[in-house]
Amino acid sequence: MNPGRFLLLAALALATLGLPHAARAGSKPVLVYYMPWHVAKPHGDAWGWHWTMDHFNPDVVNASGERQIASWYYPLIGPYDSSDPAVLEYHVLLMKLAGIDGVIVDWYGFAPYLDYSINDRATARLFACTHRAGLKFAICYEDQTISHMIDGNYLAPSNAIPHAQRAMLYLQTNFFSDPSYFRLKGRPLLLNFGPQYFLAAPNWADIFSVLAATNQPAFFTEDIRLASGAGAFSWPPMWMGQAPGTAGVLSSAALKTYLNTFEQNAAAWPAFISSAFPRFHDIYQKAGVRNYWGYLGDANGETLRQTLGHAMTNSSTMVQIVTWNDFGEGTMVEPTREYGYRDLGIIQDFRRQYLDKDFSRRTNDLSLALRFYNARKQFATNSAASSELDRVFTNIVAGNLPAADLQLQRLAR
């Protein structure tokens, strides 16, 4: 499907979305949903599935210098490896400059099954980097992993809850105990993308029973709150765009209905998380992986502006940006060749408007992160330059951008 034919219609529709807004938001954390699953040469031994989907070949380079990847969109730095320290520094510096407070990582556990342990190692490296940058960190646990491990004969059904308990203990030891882990009223934030396997609230009570009293999580599930949970989070409702005669396009009316219904339900919950997203344009059908999930147009940034403005000004506990880097579904706000820094610039503007009128970062400041990344790559084996780049990182995090700019200029000479 060509999204261009729907662009004007989507833009006009979003302009009249008419979602109810409060007069002004108070202090509200803004976290971005992050995928740690990218594997790429030369940092990795091969191109990972999320760049290839067993259909695309990133070793093929077109006339524009772009590798063939499993996405309609192309990262500004090209396809990368989620364990590459230079990439992680680049990402967290962009977040810091964009006014994002932290990350929520899509976590598949620690088991040596499929790519779960590889992703877990990348998650730990990201966590160390967010800690250095003064960003918060949280986990979204994918309990669909239990189904996959059972189907693959790696895990017996009788061991499902014990395995999930071990996963929680792992989180407690490796993440919850760190002061930079995001807590809500003293409890570690834990999201679940579902649930997809443990559907009953008593299951989760059993799973969390192994945790210390101080680490009983503030637990949020997708769309619908479990009885034992703190609340739920919204997500692009692409299932609403699959009705007959819609051509897979999620209409503004359907989006408005979803967001309003979600918040009506959330009024009875202790808390809820409101998500903002720029678009949805997945590549999975073209790759032959799954059926078409629908399309939500970018509308020249209006989709992000509308959903972010709504999330900033409603009574949600926090804002979740969906996503940093899900290139397969096209929801990323990470800079791309197609959109540049536009989406991060929108986040800056809305932070300034609704959360912090003194927030001084502008779109032009975001290029510091790219210059830093390029210098890291250029001077990877130069110990003196690497030490200077460590100081550049510290200066950007501290907000001393003129000093960081001068340091990068000197290194470029």
Tokens for 249, please give them: 């396009």
Phi, psi of 361 (to 5 degrees): -70, 140
* Rounded Cα distance, 121 and 37, in Å: 10
Q: Average pLDDT, whole number, for the chain?
A: 92
Task: Check residue 15 and give its pLDDT.
Answer: 41
> Which H or E run includes 98?
helix 85-98
Other CB atoms within 10 Å distance of the CB of residue 412: 10
Cα 33 to its chain centre, rounded Å, is 2
Q: Is the whole model's pTM more than 0.85, yes or no?
A: yes
**Cβ atoms of residues 259 and 315 within 8 Å:** no
**What are the pLDDT digits (tens) for 51-79?**
999 999 999 999 999 999 999 999 999 99
* Rounded Cα distance, 88 and 136, in Å: 14
CB burial readout 261-281, b (16+ within 10 A) else e:
ebbeebeeeebbbbbbbbbbb
Tokens for 226, please give them: 């479990």
CA nearest to 227, candidates 247, 203, 251, 211: 203
Question: What is the C-alpha end-to-end distance of the chain, expressed in Å?
Answer: 47
**What are the pLDDT digits (tens) for 91-143?**
999 999 999 999 999 999 999 999 999 999 999 999 999 999 999 999 999 99
> Which H or E run includes 173?
none
Task: Check residue 239 and give its pLDDT.
Answer: 87
